[in-house]
Each structure stands twice: as C-alpha cells, then as structure tokens.
C-alpha cells in the first residue's frame, strides 16, 4: 500500500474508532483492533516519529509473552510504513500521547517478517494480541534533544552511585577512572600489550548488578558454551563501557569494570538488567588478535 493511501486509510479508521471504544473493529487492510482510550486533539503518530510506549504481548489464550511494564522501561520504536497488511504499525497512527488500544496481528505474518520462529505458546494460524499504551510521540529531533537532556542528568546520578559504591567497598585509591567515567580496578596484573582499535579480543566475563546479582557470564552462558566472548574493538559491537574499559587492560590481566548506565544499557535496560543500572563486569583479557571478529557475545550494543 502506498504511503499516500495509507494516510487516507488511517484517517478514516480514526474517525470510525472514535465512535466505538472498547469494541473490536477491523480496518480495510485487515487489522483487528480495540480502542480503549483516545483523546481528541492530541498529536497522532505518523511515519518517521519516535514512539515511546508500553506494550503487552499475548497469545490467543491471553497468556502474556512480554510485558514492558514489568521490565521497568517503556519500548521505543521508529514508526515505519506498515510492512504487511494487518500489521500493528497501521494502528499506531490512530494513537497519540496517553491513548491505548489492543491490536490483533497474525502471528505467522509478524514473526515471518521478523525472520523469527514462532515463540513457545504461539500456534501457527493464530493472532498475537498487542496491548499498547502510548507514553509519548516525538519527531526524531525532539527525541534526540530529550535523550541528550536525560543522559546528562543520568550521568550525574550514576557518578554519585559509583562514588558511594567505591567508598563503601574499600576501593578508594584502587579504582582508576577513564575520561568518560568508566572505573576499572585491576585484580591481577598482566604483562602483555593493550588492545588497539580494530583488533579482536577474547575475554571471559561475569556481569553483575551493584547488589551482586549475576545476570550473565561467559563461563556459564549456554550460548557461549563456556568459551570466551570475542569482539572487534572500536567498531560498536559492544556497549561503550566495554569498549573503553577493555582497551585499558593488558593481555592476561584481570579487572573489575564499573560502568555507568549511560555507557551500558541506559533507560532501556533489558529483561535481566533494570533501566538505568550501573553495572559491574569481572573481566579477564585472554587474547588479542588481528582480523575480523565472529559474532560477539554479550554484552552487545543495545538497539533503539
């Protein structure tokens, strides 16, 4: 469907939706939806906008597959032209800040387009329910300005959290600080070289929250199979805090990195890491090599 026709269809559906809240309806493109809350006069999402929203994914038996409310941070996405008929991107153009709705999308179409297998609990030929609550609608410029302001504020919060942690745990005088705010404490010196941009490093790691809870380790992660993680330094394959912290280590060295949330997973977090979490990584730099890296292990650079 062309962008021009899509805009007309979305406008028509919005008018119809205003007359039937909490009643399931269907667009001419086959998207089934129920509007729960919809304010008149609010700016609605349009292609190219950044949407911040909470969503709950459910199978056809109403079992919850994902709930961003429980993850501690809303989901953010660039609103694109609907990739297939009946996709929920069409429905998002009906909604503005504070609005809510549930969309019912073909599981086959949704996961095939994403080149993913159907998740456990989702049967072929069924619909996925996507309950949405819109937190904000922004242009890309508005989004970038908000992100910059929020990051600057979070930097100050993280700095105080890290300073208190270092003082409380007897690390004062041992912890070295990089220019961007990553701290590293060498626990076993190494005599080898430090890695340079473009080189491939092999590291064993254990990632923890400040309360000591382990969220991942290369030694126990089934995907890693107990092998060290590998990544190419300086090309954005991992979180910025890893890039900078690992570059300070010598081959054979062990150290603890303390990484501000702004150089880790920020306000997004993930299923194992709460939003705006300062992270600890116990790192062992095992090897440094030339050449291209294979697909990296954790912690990969988060996407928007």
Percent of all residues in the chain with a pLDDT value above 70, rounded to a whole number: 88
Cα–Cα distance for residue pair 298/239, rounded to 1 Å: 9
How far are the Cα atoms of 22, 156, 183, 293 from residue 242, in angstroms, in the given order? 47, 20, 11, 16
Structure tokens at 79: 């609103």
Question: Is 281 assigned a catalytic role?
Answer: yes
Identical fold at 23-138 and 154-289?
yes
Which SS3 state, helix, strand or coil, does residue 164 take? helix
Which residue would you say has higher pLDDT here, 202 or 225? Answer: 202
The catalytic position among 33, 104, 143, 281 is 281
Is 89 a residue whose pLDDT tops 50? yes
Question: Is 67 assigned a catalytic role?
Answer: no
Which pLDDT value is given to residue 299?
A: 54
Question: Is 103 assigned a catalytic role?
Answer: no
249, 255 Cβ separation under 8 angstroms: yes
The catalytic position among 150, 215, 282, 287 is 215
Which pLDDT value is given to residue 117?
A: 86
Kindly report the CATH class assigned to 154-289. Answer: alpha beta
The catalytic position among 239, 258, 273, 286 is 239
Q: Which residues contact 108 (CB under 8 A, 6 or more apart)?
A: 118, 124, 125
| pLDDT tens figures, 34-85 | 999 999 889 999 999 999 999 999 998 889 999 988 877 788 899 999 999 9
Cα–Cα distance for residue pair 198/12, rounded to 1 Å: 53
Phi, then psi, of 32 in degrees rounded to 5:
-90, 135
| pLDDT tens figures, 113-167 | 777 888 888 999 999 999 999 999 999 999 999 989 999 999 999 999 999 999 9
The catalytic position among 103, 265, 273, 288 is 265
Gyration radius of the chain over CA positions: 23
Question: Is 99 assigned a catalytic role?
Answer: no
Which pLDDT value is given to residue 113?
A: 78
Cα–Cα distance for residue pair 185/151, rounded to 1 Å: 25
pLDDT band at 20; cut points 50, 70, 90: low
Q: Where are the domains of the chain?
A: 23-138, 154-289
- Enter the CATH code of domain 23-138: 3.10.50.40
Question: Is 6 assigned a catalytic role?
Answer: no
Question: Is 215 assigned a catalytic role?
Answer: yes
The catalytic position among 216, 258, 259, 273 is 216
Is 222 a residue whose pLDDT tops 90? no
The catalytic position among 33, 184, 205, 231 is 205
CB atoms within 10 A of CB 150: 14
Exposure string of 210-234, with b = 16+ CB inside 10 Å and e = fewer, is beeeebbbbeebeebeeebbbbbbe
Structure tokens at 104: 């019912």
Q: What is the mean pLDDT of the chain?
A: 87
Sign of CA dihedral 183, 171, 248, 200: negative
């Amino acid at each position: 469907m062309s962008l021009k026709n899509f805009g007309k269809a979305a406008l028509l559906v919005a008018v119809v939706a205003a007359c039937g809240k909490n009643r399931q309806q269907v667009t001419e493109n086959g998207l089934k939806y129920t509007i729960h809350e919809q304010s008149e006069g609010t700016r609605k999402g349009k292609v190219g906008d950044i949407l911040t929203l909470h969503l709950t994914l459910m199978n056809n038996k109403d079992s919850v597959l994902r709930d961003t409310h429980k993850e501690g941070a809303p989901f953010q996405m660039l609103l694109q032209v609907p990739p297939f008929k009946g996709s929920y991107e069409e429905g998002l153009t009906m909604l503005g800040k504070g609005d809510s709705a549930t969309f019912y999308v073909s599981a086959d179409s949704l996961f095939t387009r994403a080149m993913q297998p159907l998740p456990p609990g989702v049967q072929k030929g069924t619909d996925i329910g996507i309950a949405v609550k819109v937190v904000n609608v922004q242009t890309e410029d508005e989004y970038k300005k908000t992100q910059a302001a929020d990051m600057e504020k979070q930097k100050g919060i993280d700095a105080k959290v890290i300073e208190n942690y270092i003082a409380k745990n007897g690390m004062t005088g041992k912890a070295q600080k990089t220019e961007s705010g990553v701290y590293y404490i060498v626990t076993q010196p190494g005599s080898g070289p430090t890695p340079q941009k473009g080189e491939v490093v092999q590291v064993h790691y254990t990632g923890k929250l400040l309360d000591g809870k382990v969220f991942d380790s290369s030694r126990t992660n089934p995907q890693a199979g107990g092998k060290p993680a590998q990544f190419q330094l300086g090309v954005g394959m991992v979180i910025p805090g890893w890039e900078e912290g690992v570059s300070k280590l010598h081959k054979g060295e062990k150290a603890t990195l303390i990484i501000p949330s702004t150089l880790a997973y920020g306000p997004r977090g993930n299923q194992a890491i709460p939003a705006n979490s300062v992270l600890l990584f116990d790192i062992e730099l095992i090897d440094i090599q030339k050449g291209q890296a294979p697909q990296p292990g954790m912690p990969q650079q988060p996407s928007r």
